[in-house]
Amino acid sequence: MARSEGAWVLRLRRQAPPRVRLFCFPYAGGSAAVYRGWLDALPAHVEVCAVRLPGREARLSEAPFTRGEDLVPAVAAALLPLLDMPYALFGHSMGAVAAFELARQWRRQGVCLPVRLFVSGARAPERPNPDPPLGHLSDREFVAEVRRRYDAIPTGVLENPELLQLLLPSLRADFAIFENYVYRAEAPLDCPISAFGGQDDARVCADDVAAWGTHTTRPVAIRMFPGDHFFIHGSEQAVQRTVSEDLALA
């Protein structure tokens, strides 16, 4: 069963009352739909809350954020009413950095930390992005470079100019957030971290994933899955199973 929670969240839940909420953040250019299949794969007591960012899906008419400094406080305020039970955060690639910064934002506000933070397909935040920025490129060059680096734009979108034009503003905005991100050192989080990586990811290596261990005072679980940067699709069942197992430890 799916229902919206205002503009920001698509809540996926069964009839049984949830005992923990899992807030899921998409990768650059992604949407809440990335996590629609997670409901049946996770335990019945877990409510999947897929975060809807401006500039896509039902929020297509809204301007997307281009700065993490603006996005994170807005998400923190929007999701705060849903923190009436234990919660966890999951994010992939750009979404991992957003989830990490959201946990730190809530800590600064005196809000309880998540029972577990899942960071997937992302290097630890203090590790610089080695790739040159894309913001100055023309649309054609931008699309070509995104495809070269990540193979992230489906062929069906590329072959449909109107659909591609709908995707480009949010994709460009997400890359701007990612490329302009500046890590600022704070104390490690006092919550467990699960850090996932793809064994064949050409952009995020095993050392990048393992470095997340310095950002928690609690146990860290490092796991590498078969696949490239988007292993959460190719190894989706294994990822979902691991999320379920790690939430059981919370």
Mean pLDDT over 103-118 rounds to 98
Share of the chain above pLDDT 90, in %: 78
What value does the CA radius of gyration of the chain take, rounded to a whole number of Å? 17
pLDDT at residue 153 in the model: 83
pLDDT digits (tens, 9 = 90+) for 161-205: 998 999 999 999 999 998 999 999 999 999 999 999 999 999 999
Amino acid at site 9:
V
CB atoms within 10 A of CB 21: 23
User: Above 60 in pLDDT, residue 17?
Assistant: yes
pLDDT at residue 98 in the model: 97
Q: Specify the CATH number for 2-248; select among 3.90.1150.200, 2.40.50.140, 3.40.50.1820, 1.20.1730.10.
A: 3.40.50.1820
Which one has a higher pLDDT value, 13 or 196?
A: 196
User: Above 70 in pLDDT, residue 1?
Assistant: no
Q: 4-8, 14-18, 211-215 — which one is most confidently predicted on average?
A: 211-215
pLDDT at residue 12 in the model: 85
| Region label for 18, one of left (φ > 0), alpha (ψ between -120 and 50) or beta (otherwise) | beta
Which one has a higher pLDDT value, 184 or 158?
A: 184
Give the domain ranges of the chain: 2-248
3-state secondary structure 211-242: HHHHHECCCEEEEEECCCCCHHHHCHHHHHHH
Which one has a higher pLDDT value, 87 or 131?
A: 87
Q: How far apart, in whole angstroms, are the C-alpha atoms of residue 174 and residue 179?
A: 9
Burial code (b: 16+ CB inside 10 Å, e: under 16) for 134-159 equals beebeeeebbeebeeebebbeeebee
pLDDT at residue 3 in the model: 45
Q: Rounded to a whole number, what is the distance in angstroms from the first to the last CA of the chain? A: 25
Mean pLDDT over 73-77 rounds to 96
3-state secondary structure 122-148: CCCCCCCCCCCCCCCCCHHHHHHHHHH
pTM: 0.94
pLDDT at residue 2 in the model: 44
Confidence band, pLDDT 50/70/90 cuts, at residue 81: very high
Q: How far apart, in whole angstroms, are the C-alpha atoms of residue 197 and residue 229?
A: 8
Looking at the annotation, which residues are catalytic? Answer: 93
Mean pLDDT over 22-49 rounds to 93
